[in-house]
Structure 1
Amino acid sequence: MSMTKNPPPIPKALIVKPSKATKEPAELGDHAIWQGDAEDMLCALPNKPLFDLVVSSPPYNIGKSYEKKAPLDDYLKWQERILDLIIPRIKDTGSLCWQVGNFVDNGQIVPLDIEMAPIFKKHGLKLRNRIIWHFGHGLHNKHRFSGRYEVVMWYSKTDSYQFDVDAVRIPSKYPGKRHFKGPNKGKLSGNPLGKNPEDVWTIPNVKSNHVEKTDHPCQFPVGLIERLVLSLTKPGQLVFDPFAGVGSAGVAAALHDRRFWGCELLPHYAKQGRQRIDEALRGVARYRPHDKELYDHTKSKLSQIVDTGLEDAGG
């Protein structure tokens, strides 16, 4: 008589309280959010290479509801303390992706990627890409051009870094294009898997009507992290986010069989993060994939000018 094996249990994410800190990484499991301060968590971990990918969108010091605005020098010193703890814990084949915007001081913008570059240089990291994240929507500005992009700095620990562009190729603009001369005349000229997504990524930010929206005021879109996770790690490897928020990096990792550790100071966000990661592990996460086509706004009724018979307001 044949015996039917029960399927393995679906793993669940943990919330680790600071009082349960451990220097034994295995006790954190495959998916965990440390609810507490990132510096405390890092100091509780062994000072040895653990992470295959560190990806984060740290608080930008712009005075959001969940952060206290500090002078730029103080902010940079704080970021340096965090990175001094993180970088020694990245594997030699690993990468660090730090997504930042601008510090605004009396109407003057200060690009944080430029201000932070000396920190990464101090540790000997190698800048592989300065990825432009074009998100398309945001506040309008009356005193300068409205900002519609931020930056992802991708650094590798060494020259022996992991990178799999085939995992994140996107559809070619002209997939039927062929060589018109030479030994390959008549053959398709593009890669059959699609094209390299290049270093300007148009991925919508998480606004009120976004499928991933929670109550976090500055939420990281899963698709942005997903592209980094797929190209810079392999299944089973460890992704770390020291500012996990509502767990978007954990969702991206869980969707693709990567392990995840994160840290979130606020209990409310840590709880939401665990729930979202659990949904990803169960295969029911709601998210926007990195390769989803952008919505064509010309098809919206709002893009059409309707003749109401009224004079133009500027007439």
Structure 2
Amino acid sequence: MLFDVISSDYKSDVLTGDTFETLKTLPDGKFDLVVSSPPYNIGKSYETKETIEKYLATQENVIRELARVLSDKGNICWQVGNYIENGEVFPLDIYYYQIFKKYGFKLRNRIIWHFGHGLHAKNRFSGRYETILWFSKTDDYIFNLDPVRVPSKYPGKLNYKGDKKGQPSGNPMGKNPSDIWEIVVQDWENELWDIPNVKSNHPEKADHPCQYPVELVERCVLALSNKESWVLDPYSGVGSTMIASLKNERNSVGIDRDENYCQITKDRLEKLRKGELKTRPINKPIHVPSANDKVAQVPKEWIGTLNY
């Protein structure tokens, strides 16, 4: 999907360099929202694998700086997966929770991002989700409910007593999303967000092995920052956070040590400003293969087996 030309009134600064050292150059309290997916320490091309202890110590330095540059009404959305060592799973969100609490952050939601495709496992169940930890810096934090309301299940429900007896009891803009983690009715209906990850056939695919979708970031941007807010991604990759921010009239700063990724980010931002960048529309239904799709048909060799 292509978007109209974006106003040039909103700034997007791409900074190349070490995250911690670059953060130290940014002013106190500048950002209302931090959205990022830090390296998972799994040995990708853009990271150096370390012991879990050394990795977390490095990340604590970064989080300490994020606490400084975040405004008092600010939020952090920290997307993480799992660290694997010798076949054992280390859930990074649990380790990160302790670090954020150390610096006074308060966890508001633990959101599960579910996707249908990922790495296949042989000695454990294949992973199909990652976790987004949403922390606020204080109790007086930015939260915009209206942009993310969902249609009411029973919009015709009426008040049965009091001054408003007989009048609609709900909100005409929709209801507050539930915090029940069951089945996806709509993307904001529960805290299980069914959004496809960025693979080879995704319209946003760029030269990054762990690119996350703009659609995922947009939800955080709309709910947890205001128009004209500054949004920061300290591990910006190919610019998904910056694109989501610019699309929705926010300013942004992205930091990445890889010059190639920074250049890709700049190119993508320029295409967005020109109305030439393709992204997946927010809330677009997940593709379900039809019975006629060849790859959706059961191979004849499997017919009669346990599940077919």
TM-score (norm 1): 0.83
Tell me the amino acid that sits aligned with residue 182 of structure 1.
Y
1:164-313 counterparts in 2 under 5 A?
164-171=144-151, 174=153, 178-179=156-157, 182-183=160-161, 191-195=171-175, 196=177, 197=188, 198-298=190-290, 301-302=293-294, 305=297, 312=303
Q: In the alignment, does 2:130 pair up with 1:150?
A: yes
Q: Aligned-pair distance for 1:124?
A: 0.9
Q: 1:40 aligns with which of 1, 14, 21?
A: 21
Higher relative contact order (CA 8 A, sep 6+): 2
How well do the aligned residues superpose, as a CA RMSD in angstroms? 2.7
Distance 1:255 1:105, change over 3 A: same
2:111 corresponds to: 131
2:181 corresponds to: none
2:239–2:268 Cα contact (<8 Å) kept: yes
Distance 1:299 1:9, change over 3 A: closer
1:58 corresponds to: 38
Number of residue equivalences:
288
1:223–1:252 Cα contact (<8 Å) kept: yes
- Distance in 2 of aligned mates of 1:67 and 1:286: 28
* Identical aligned residues as a percent: 45
Distance 1:59 1:181, change over 3 A: same
SS in 1 for 2:95: helix
1:203–1:290 Cα contact (<8 Å) kept: no
> Which structure 1 segments of 5+ residues have no match?
1-7, 13-28
Distance 1:113 1:185, change over 3 A: same
2:64 corresponds to: 84
Distance 1:90 1:169, change over 3 A: same
- Distance in 1 of aligned mates of 2:41 and 2:83: 7
Q: Aligned-pair distance for 1:286?
A: 1.0
Higher radius of gyration, 1 or 2: 1
Q: Aligned-pair distance for 1:300?
A: 5.7
2:243–2:269 Cα contact (<8 Å) kept: yes
1:222–1:249 Cα contact (<8 Å) kept: yes
Distance 1:88 1:181, change over 3 A: closer
Tell me the amino acid that sits aligned with residue 213 of structure 1.
K
Q: Aligned-pair distance for 1:301?
A: 1.8
2:6–2:274 Cα contact (<8 Å) kept: no
Tell me the amino acid that sits aligned with residue 223 of structure 1.
E
Distance 1:74 1:189, change over 3 A: same
- Distance in 1 of aligned mates of 2:83 and 2:292: 35
1:211–1:286 Cα contact (<8 Å) kept: yes
Tell me the amino acid that sits aligned with residue 107 of structure 1.
G
Distance 1:313 1:215, change over 3 A: farther
> Which structure 2 segments of 5+ residues have no match?
178-187
Tell me the amino acid that sits aligned with residue 237 of structure 1.
S
2:36–2:77 Cα contact (<8 Å) kept: yes
- Distance in 2 of aligned mates of 1:54 and 1:94: 8
Q: 1:111 aligns with which of 91, 94, 101?
A: 91
- Distance in 1 of aligned mates of 2:286 and 2:143: 25
Distance 1:254 1:307, change over 3 A: closer
- Distance in 2 of aligned mates of 1:90 and 1:112: 22
Please list the CA deviations of residues 171-229 of structure 1 after superposition, one character each: whole Å capped at 9, or x if unmatched.
55x4x653388358987666443442132111110001001001100001101100000
- Distance in 1 of aligned mates of 2:266 and 2:198: 19
Q: Aligned-pair distance for 1:313?
A: 8.2
2:160–2:166 Cα contact (<8 Å) kept: no
Tell me the amino acid that sits aligned with residue 252 of structure 1.
A
- Distance in 2 of aligned mates of 1:115 and 1:307: 43
Please list the CA deviations of residues 243-293 of structure 1 after superposition, one character each: whole Å capped at 9, or x if unmatched.
000000000001011000010111110000011122223333211133222
- Distance in 2 of aligned mates of 1:311 and 1:292: 33
TM-score (norm 2): 0.85
- Distance in 2 of aligned mates of 1:294 and 1:119: 35
Tell me the amino acid that sits aligned with residue 45 of structure 1.
L
2:147–2:223 Cα contact (<8 Å) kept: yes
- Distance in 2 of aligned mates of 1:188 and 1:231: 25
2:158–2:168 Cα contact (<8 Å) kept: no
